[in-house]
Amino acid sequence: MNSARTSHVRWFLVFWLFILSAVSYLDRVNISIAGGSIAEAYHLSDVQLGQVFSAMLVGYALFQTVGGRLADLFGPRRVLAAGVAWWGIFTALTAMVPANIAGALLIFVVVRFLLGAGEAVIYPSANQFIARWIPTTERGIANGWIFAGVGAGAGLTPLIVTYIMVHYGWRTSFWVCSIIGFAAGAVWLLIARDTPAEHPGVSASESALIRSGLTQAESKNDAQALVPWGRVIQSKEVLAVTLSYFCYGYVAWIFFSWFYRYLAKVRGLDLKASAFYTMLPFLAMLVCCLLGGAINDRLAKRLGPRVGRCGPAVFAMVVAGIFIAFGSQVQSARLASVVLAGGAGALYLSQSSFWSVTADIAGASAGSVSGFMNMGNQIGAALTASLTPWIAARFGWTTSFLVAAGLCLVGALSWLVVDPSRQLRVSLADVGTVQIQSSKYISDQSANRSPVVRASS
């Protein structure tokens, strides 16, 4: 460990998580930009295209808790690297579906489902990294940077994919996305480590700063003690943030899945104008993620975690609902795009709150708990991918956006019962029968190192 200078390795790794976050959304949103070409080539309706969108989100949702548990057990470095390689493969396979093949819809659904399963590890792994590497006072801004990658990736996707589609076809755009993913994942595997103690570039002063800023449970070296699932699902904090994140996911994925198509088909913008205005919500997300993270940490330090973490989430989701309701009824296509983009940005002011709170309350189980929460988000996302065009077909697109605005208010109210100071803890009383996996861990315990603790079933 380098003790001659003060290092900032944690921030370099946070930056690379920003890159991976951007790549993950590049690989998700690309199909919504190429959706028109795919629908035309394979004779798919908007409802069928929605099923393809939903397939990725269903796979993503179902494997959230699995991905989070894997990150808790095996560390964020290997799990995330494996996940990036997995989703790179299935991004490439999306481009390999033959033209005029029978059953193309089913093939796209299966491929996108498996893509989602691979992508499920990214944010639970990132949150496990946060719990191990980032002091509590810096978690808001760290999460802000990680989720700013959502805005960056989704914002650049319309330009990148549209350019490649125009010049080389939609299939090439998926090959390019796949190659970018493989490269970014390989760099992460080379530069990342699961803990500060394992990284040769971390100075003694940075290591001491990190240790001093962890929660009480984390500072006791309980890195391998995992919270039983029974305690997770009984926590009102976990259930409340999961409900709120369900609402959040429903609203956010209107922009990821349907905004480009909405501007082109409903508002009448041409291909290039649609690509430009589709960027606006995602650029707003990028800026507001960073801003929300900074506000989150500053208020938490000054007013305590309940006001600092929960207050911005309540405010942001209420404002998002107002913007989305108003923007859906504006007559001018360009003004509507700007107002709706403001709603997307306001929504993402709350992003750091979700992930900072789950890292704070879950400690060593941050991957599992945040994965459970994110499962709720993705169920909401999968629902909007299919339900939004159905509502629009029967009641109009304005109604689709008003439903989203209403869910913003439900999500805001859910935060009122959350108290981040109620940490999930592991004890003999909680776990029941405690198993020590081997005599090696018993000897480790006598040397003041934590054994692996699991609840017996």
pLDDT at 435 over 50: no
- Asked if 168 contacts 45 with a C-beta cutoff of 8 angstroms, the reply is no
d(CA 188, CA 371): 21
pLDDT at 427 (0 to 100): 54
Statement: 9-426 belongs to CATH 3.40.50.970: no
| pLDDT band, residue 414 (cuts 50/70/90) | very high
Top-ranked range on mean pLDDT: pick from 43-57, 213-227, 419-433: 43-57
Shortest CA distance to 341 belongs to which of 284, 398, 408? 284
Position 449, amino acid: R
What are the extents of the domains in the chain? Answer: 9-426
Look at residue 270 and give its three-state secondary structure: coil
Chain position carrying tokens 């560390």: 75
pLDDT in tens, 288-312: 999 999 998 899 889 888 899 899 9
**Percent of the residues in the chain that have a pLDDT greater than 70, as a whole number:** 89
Contacts of 137 (CB under 8 A, 6+ apart): 213, 297, 300, 301
What is this structure's pTM? 0.75
CA distance to 122, 161, 273, 337, 397, per residue, from 267 (Å): 34, 21, 11, 9, 10
Arithmetic mean of pLDDT, 155-182: 89
Q: Nearest CA to 250 among 54, 22, 20, 26?
A: 54
- Of the candidates 355, 300, 345, the one whose C-alpha atom is nearest the C-alpha of residue 323 is 345
Does the pLDDT value for residue 21 go beyond 90? yes
3-state secondary structure at position 2: strand
CB-CB contact of 173 with 45 (8 Å): no
